[in-house]
Amino acid sequence: MAMASNDDGEQIWAKQERLTLLDALIAATSRRDEVFAVLSRSEDPERAVSELRQLLSIEEIPARAIVDLQLRRFTSGERQKLADMRAELLSELD
């Protein structure tokens, strides 16, 4: 029985981590002009990660995910998909 409880805890943790990532991606796509400005003026990806962390008040892993994003994620349809995934994840965590 303890095994199932541990598995449940790991699933909740994984969902919370995914939620943190989705929140960062949604923030980045909502502030795309500022994000693009950071990316275009940064000397290298490490500097971009640092500036994005400051701009969006996020941790390193989500900032790296933003730097690695494909530009298609910034389209309105893709932004809506991110919002839908976030809403679904929140309902699973409740």
3-57 pLDDT, tens per residue? 556 788 899 999 999 999 999 999 999 999 999 999 999 999 999 999 999 999 9
Mean pLDDT, residues 49-66 taken together: 98
CB atoms within 10 A of CB 23: 15
Q: What is the pLDDT of residue 1?
A: 45
List the domain boundaries for the chain. Answer: 8-93
CA distance 75 to 84: 14
Query: Which CATH number, 3.30.450.40, 1.10.260.40, 1.10.268.10, 1.10.10.10, labels domain 8-93?
Result: 1.10.268.10
